[in-house]
Amino acid sequence: MLGGLAGGSSTASVLSIDPVAGTVRHAGTLAEAVHDAAGAVVGGAARVFGGGAARTLDSVQTYAASGSHVTAHLPRPRSDLAAVTVNGTAFIAGGFDGSTLSPYVVSTGDGSTFKIAGTLATAVRYPAIAAAGDSIFVIGGSTANTESSAAGQVDLVQRFDISTGRTTIVAHLPHAIAHAAAFVLGGELFVAGGVEGRQPLAAVYRVDGSSVQPAGMLPGPRSDAGVVTIGDRAWLVGGEDGGPAAPLDSVVVARAVR
């Protein structure tokens, strides 16, 4: 778990979590304290893309236990973004450059050089993201230029086709959601938690083609969580229950049940 908010301020702390043993240990620090960033493993290393601190950043930080470094820069500053790795290539979608939302989906195969892979149908910040096959799903998010605004949230499920660079809106959630987490289990796409307006959510939905169906509940409301899939489980790490003043220190595991 790299960076984020701790006590309402950006942190450079890196934590290593053993979900089986339920233990957490300190595993180093980032070169720059940052929150609202995106992370992905690309080029054999963990990278942290952009994010916010006192300003919106364009830095790409490469994590190493011996010392993390800024090793590259995004084409433009970007925070509130999301990233996912497909076949060794990281795709970055959504986000805000400090004045406008970015519609561009940017890709990198080495964490240092970037190209525009396509554009979103609707530019958003704070979306959930997950990949299935040659498709990347960008779910929900906000179109507001003001971070604290509860307006502008969307119910969209956007599908980005890696092979064509085209994005289509394939489904609509039951209501607008931002700050949620998305993951794929057993070949199925799920979106969990987030906020509607300012209300934190616990609902989990399954996205199947153009259909979105209820799929369960988290133990409690949770937004802005880190998420990673290991085997047949998805782990939601930290997050908030009502904004930065209500951070969570727990780890939740989700498993698909038929």
Whether pLDDT at 222 is above 90: yes
**Domain final residue, candidates 119, 143, 166:** 119
Give the per-residue pLDDT at 224.
96
The string of pLDDT tens digits covering residues 20-41 is: 898 999 999 999 999 999 999 9
Q: Assess whether 143 and 247 both reside in one domain.
A: yes
Q: Assess whether 109 and 18 both reside in one domain.
A: yes
Tokens in use for 144? Answer: 């507001």
Using DSSP, state whether 176 is helix, strand or coil.
Answer: coil
Total domains in the chain come to: 2
pTM (two decimals)? 0.96
Q: Assess whether 88 and 135 both reside in one domain.
A: no
Give the per-residue pLDDT at 243.
86
Q: Assess whether 258 and 138 both reside in one domain.
A: yes
Average confidence (pLDDT) over 160-184: 97
| Parent domain of 20 | 1-119
Q: Assess whether 101 and 155 both reside in one domain.
A: no
Q: Assess whether 240 and 146 both reside in one domain.
A: yes
Q: Assess whether 223 and 159 both reside in one domain.
A: yes
Whether pLDDT at 258 is above 70: no
Q: How confident is the model at residue 53 (pLDDT cuts 50, 70, 90)?
A: confident
Task: Look up the CATH number of the domain holding residue 252.
Answer: 2.120.10.80
First vs last Cα of the chain: how many Å apart? 30
Query: How far is it, in rounded angstroms, from Cα 34 to Cα 66?
Result: 19
Q: Assess whether 105 and 162 both reside in one domain.
A: no
**Domain final residue, candidates 92, 119, 146:** 119
Neighbours of 87 (CB within 10 A): 8
The C-alpha R_g of the chain, in whole angstroms, comes to: 17
Q: How confident is the model at residue 85 (pLDDT cuts 50, 70, 90)?
A: very high
**Domain final residue, candidates 94, 119, 144:** 119
Q: Are the C-beta atoms of residues 29 and 48 closer than 8 Å to each other?
A: no
Q: What percent of the chain has pLDDT over 90?
A: 88
Whether pLDDT at 216 is above 90: yes
Q: Are the C-beta atoms of residues 65 and 27 closer than 8 Å to each other?
A: yes
Give the per-residue pLDDT at 8.
87
Whether pLDDT at 193 is above 80: yes
Q: Assess whether 192 and 248 both reside in one domain.
A: yes
Give the per-residue pLDDT at 73.
98
Q: Assess whether 108 and 188 both reside in one domain.
A: no
Give the per-residue pLDDT at 123.
98
Q: Assess whether 133 and 229 both reside in one domain.
A: yes
Neighbours of 144 (CB within 10 A): 18
Average confidence (pLDDT) over 3-10: 92
Between residues 117 and 245, which one has the greater pLDDT? Answer: 117
Whether pLDDT at 119 is above 90: yes
Q: Assess whether 106 and 141 both reside in one domain.
A: no
The string of pLDDT tens digits covering residues 247-256 is: 999 999 998 7
Give the per-residue pLDDT at 146.
82
Average confidence (pLDDT) over 63-82: 96
